[in-house]
Amino acid sequence: MRKLRMGMVGGGEGAFIGAVHRMAAALDGNIELVCGCFSADAERSKRSGRGLYLADERIYTDYQQMMRAEAALPATLRMDFVAIVTPNFMHLPVALAALAAGFHVLSDKPATMSVVEAKVLREAVAASGLSYGLTHPYIGYPLVQEARRRVAAGELGAIRRVVVEYHQGWLAGEVGGNKQADWRTDPSRAGISCAMGDIGVHAFNLAETVLGQQVSELCADLSTMVAGRTLDDDGNVLLRFEGGARGVLMASQIAVGEENALRLRVYGECAALEWCQEEPNSLWLKSNEQPAQRIRSGWAGGDTGLESLQRTPAGHPEGYIEAFANIYQQFAAAIGGQSVPQQAALAGIEEGLRGMAFIETVVAASASDRKWHPLRID
């Protein structure tokens, strides 16, 4: 029994999501960071790697060279998988290089820059026989998985109505000089959408994951509220699900004063569920017959397997990093050959492809005079 060895591409000094990935990987003590290519700038990559206690020979400047060098190391030393935490446009090439060199991949979302790219990646994953995971961290929250379990078990009856929203305010003004904002609003690095591509896709993934069914068609209205931007910073989408449910998806980054307000409401024939990421340790179950129930994480709900997603007893708040770590643990179990909680969902290349199709369909639908647009992957 040994720790899994992780390499990282991206996530140098000042990066947000790279540090989150490292904390998520470290939390449970069974994954260690052994190498990384943190920046294409040699000095910056070196400084970043040393700050992470890596030996100089495991700090790389070129991700392709990293794949070759790691593959050449003895099995007792070389990394087991690579975490990709670069800006969006680099997700595909790094993933392809890693798979080609025989490494499992855990990639930040979105999977690629387009549906076409995602199909390329899907083929590469299939051909490699390796594992590919996509970090949609919000579905790593225990109560999101609990919501999914209850929907799947039929507790809500047939689903009729879905409202999923993701409101942020940080792009409400000019944010010049903010590194996080810069690449997200730049089509060459972020892709064809900002708000929908960055956060709308999380909302979409959350809804499809909890419902266990797919959006069949949609109608969209994207906006660019801040002058000078090319991409959308706000948008609203009408949804129709294959099972007959209807609903709304909202994503905005100009909702001034909002922090990270991802919220899902699912109404079935018999009962409804409501969950909000900013208070992630409560899940509301509502019906017309009983008082609303506040289901809490850390519940002692028996043999669902989901209790393994929780690290502390009820009343000890767990949050974003723990949810993210659940993604890492499930990925680690998958590549380590260990069993994962049967109920727990982990996003992979199929979900990545769905996400890209969502983004492209929404952008096309918004530009169209026609109301409904199928969300289909050919």
Q: Which stretch binds its own copies (CB under 8 A): 34-42, 75-83, 187-195, 234-242?
A: 234-242
Q: Could you tell me the smallest distance in angstroms from the CB atom of residue 280 to its own copies?
A: 6
Phi-psi region of 314 (alpha: psi -120 to 50; beta: other; left: phi over 0): beta
Chain positions 151 to 180 lying near its own copies, rule: CB under 8 A, are 160-161, 163, 165, 168-170, 172-173
Report 253-312 residues binding its own copies (CB under 8 A).
254-261, 265, 267-272, 277-281, 285-288, 290-296, 298-299, 311-312
Nearer to its own copies, 92 or 306 (CB): 306
Calpha distance 350→362 (Å, rounded): 18
Q: In the window 193-212, what residues touch its own copies (CB under 8 A)?
A: none
Residue 46 CA to chain centroid, in angstroms? 28
Q: Among the candidate windows 104-112, 114-122, 302-310, 318-326, which touches its own copies by CB under 8 A?
A: 318-326
Stretch that binds its own copies, among 40-48, 75-83, 315-323, 351-359 (CB under 8 A): 315-323
From residue 6 to residue 25, what is the string marking binding to its own copies with x (rule CB under 8 A)?
----------x--xx-xx--
For residues 55-114, which are near its own copies according to CB under 8 A? none
Displacement of CA 264 from its chain's centroid (Å): 16
C-alpha 13/C-alpha 258 separation (Å) is: 27
Phi-psi region at 132: left, alpha or beta (left = phi > 0; alpha = psi -120 to 50) = beta
Q: Which is nearer to its own copies, 28 or 307 (CB)?
A: 28
How many CA atoms, within 13 angstroms, populate the side-chain half-sphere of residue 115? 13
> Looking at beta carbons only, is 72 or 288 nearer to its own copies?
288
Residue 90's identity, in one-letter code, is M
Q: Tell me whether residue 214 or residue 287 sits nearer to its own copies (CB atom).
A: 287
Q: Tell me which DSSP letter residue 197 carries.
A: I
Name the residue nearer to its own copies (CB basis): 41 or 221: 221
> Binder to its own copies among 116, 127, 242, 371 (CB under 8 A)?
371
Chain-centre distance for alpha carbon 140: 9
Selected binder of its own copies within 14, 41, 50, 62 (CB under 8 A)? 50
Q: Which of these segments, 37-45, 203-211, 233-241, 328-336, binds its own copies (CB under 8 A)?
A: 233-241
Q: State the sign of the Cα–Cα–Cα–Cα dihedral 339, 304, 268, 281.
A: negative
Q: Closer to its own copies by CB, 280 or 348: give it.
A: 280
Contact with its own copies (CB under 8 A): which of 225, 229, 307, 308?
A: 225
Query: Do 5 and 32 contact (CB within 8 A), yes or no?
Result: yes
Q: According to the binding rule CB under 8 A, does residue 181 interact with its own copies? A: no
331 vs 325: CA distance, rounded Å = 10
CB-CB neighbours of 371 under 10 Å: 11
Indicate the burial class of 186 (C-beta count within 10 angstroms; 0-12, 13-18, 19 or more): middle
